[in-house]
Structure 1
Amino acid sequence: MTSERTRVLLWTYLPGLVLMAGGLLVFGKMLDDVREGDDFAAADQAVLDWLVANRSPWMTNVLAAITFVTGPTVLPILVFLACAGWWWWRREWWRPVLLAGAMIGSTLLGVVVKDLVGRPRPPEDTMHIPGAEHSASFPSGHTLGTATLLLVAGYLVCSRRRSTARLVGWGVLTVVGTVLVAVSRLYLGYHFLTDVIAAIGLAVAVLGAVSIVDRIHTGPPTASSDGRSADPAVVVPGNG
């Protein structure tokens, strides 16, 4: 009984706690660097200056489009449509609600941290559109939102139907999508390097919290008739 209880507790909490600890460790490191002005923060201005000095018209157009789509105007609409479509197509409520909750939670978390840290934005003369951003700089909200969406949505899909191809696809999409948005924020002069790295750390921590909540809801895997582990979190149409 004790060993079974330990197995259940480890399955439920350990992966999420590891993700939360790792994400918060990255975030804490970036925050400390910003306050001390050393390590990663010492490279902030150099990275910003290099990207601004190497802008090109076509790259600016591409990255401006990416930053617009992942901003506070368009991304919430896309998330709402995705969650509503998920609910309608699969006839389930749990995963769409969990995704929406993660996005709302990460947004509120980003706003609170911005207000508490109060880091100024890069100089306006480095911004693609001077004065376009007025909120605090740390962490990057665009990067936090995009990374949270890709990480959490990918987890909610891959945890139900595991396959190597799906996991690899999720990993590639998450890395490429997050990096593109992070680079767009740096390239357009709206954030520093430490802002986007801190945002990624927070997104990983959010994924860890989502994993714990989801596993508490679904319960631990059980043994199938052929002796292999079967995940009860597999959802069929009509189930929550």
Structure 2
Amino acid sequence: MGEPRGTARRAWLLSAAAVVVFVAVLVQVATGTGLAHADEPVLAWFVAHRTAAVTSVMTAVSTIFGSTVLPLAVAVGCAAWWWRTGRGWRPVLLAAAMVVQLVCSLVLKAAVARPRPPDLSQSVPGSVVTHSFPSGHTMGAATLVTALVCLLGVAQGRSATWWWVASSGAVVVTALVALSRLYLGYHFLTDVVAGAALGFAVGVLVLVPRRPAGAG
């Protein structure tokens, strides 16, 4: 009893801390202070340093974690996971986390209504017309990798080394997706930082529900 409750408590605390980061970034965007001062310089730097080869790689990364490929991959992956293990609690939690993050992203984009970077800054000018804050790609990636690490780690009782390696991998994936959105000129720095924070806040909450008895 103590350990599941302790795990859930830690998950809530981590999620709350990430939400605080998100709110702090949102306030800075609204007031044009803090990290928001770096938005334009960072965008300009990436635009000035694009190359054909790197653009191809970043476009591929962005496409994989976009609104078409990622939901399909998650749906297929969750179905395969359920079929392979015969247990549905983990894939259901993963799918639920992805739905929650999508709803949060859509609601926040509409509420904040922040314009995208200028068309001329975008890799394909005018190709993205939705609002900019937070970055949906980054949020989706952060939610996915955070939830996967949590579900696989807790279910299997992984070692500290496993947690360190898996967590590092999750950070790298999230950072790569965020970098792709910055590089391609579709988001500002504060967009991707906010997306990463909120994605983590959602993903870590898969640790809150109690596992079914005997679930592995």
Aligning the two structures, in what range does the TM-score lie when normalised by the shorter sequence? Answer: over 0.9
Higher helix share: 2
Alpha-carbon shift at residue 165 of structure 1 (Å): 3.6
Could you say which residue in structure 2 is the equivalent of 1:80? 75
**Code of the aligned partner of 1:90:** T
Alpha-carbon contact 2:89-2:211 (below 8 Å) kept: no
Alpha-carbon shift at residue 202 of structure 1 (Å): 0.6
Alpha-carbon shift at residue 20 of structure 1 (Å): 1.6
Alpha-carbon shift at residue 103 of structure 1 (Å): 0.3
Asked if 1:100 corresponds to 2:95, the answer is yes
Residues 157-193 of structure 1: per-residue CA shift (max 9 Å, x gap) = 0112212342123112101110110000000000000
**Code of the aligned partner of 1:92:** R
Alpha-carbon shift at residue 10 of structure 1 (Å): 4.9
Spell out the pairing of 1:38-53 with structure 2 (5 A cutoff): 38-53=33-48
2:202 to 203, 206, 211: 206
Spell out the pairing of 1:10-159 with structure 2 (5 A cutoff): 10-159=5-154
CA distance in structure 1 between the partners assigned to 2:113 and 2:154 by the alignment: 37
Q: What runs of 5+ residues in structure 2 fail to find an aligned partner? A: none
CA distance in structure 2 between the partners assigned to 1:233 and 1:40 by the alignment: 46
CA distance in structure 2 between the partners assigned to 1:38 and 1:171 by the alignment: 31
Alpha-carbon contact 1:24-1:202 (below 8 Å) kept: yes
CA distance in structure 2 between the partners assigned to 1:233 and 1:136 by the alignment: 45
Distance of aligned partners of 1:43 and 1:166 in 2 relative to their CA distance in 1, 3 Å threshold: same
Alpha-carbon contact 2:150-2:206 (below 8 Å) kept: no
Runs of 4+ in 1 over 4 A off after TM superposition: 7-10
2:180 to 184, 187, 196: 184
Alpha-carbon contact 1:23-1:201 (below 8 Å) kept: yes
- The structure having more radius of gyration, on CA atoms, is 1
What number of residue pairs does the alignment pair up? 215
Distance of aligned partners of 1:142 and 1:58 in 2 relative to their CA distance in 1, 3 Å threshold: same
Could you say which residue in structure 1 is the equivalent of 2:211? 218
Question: Aligned-residue CA RMSD in angstroms?
Answer: 1.6
State the percentage of identical aligned residues: 41
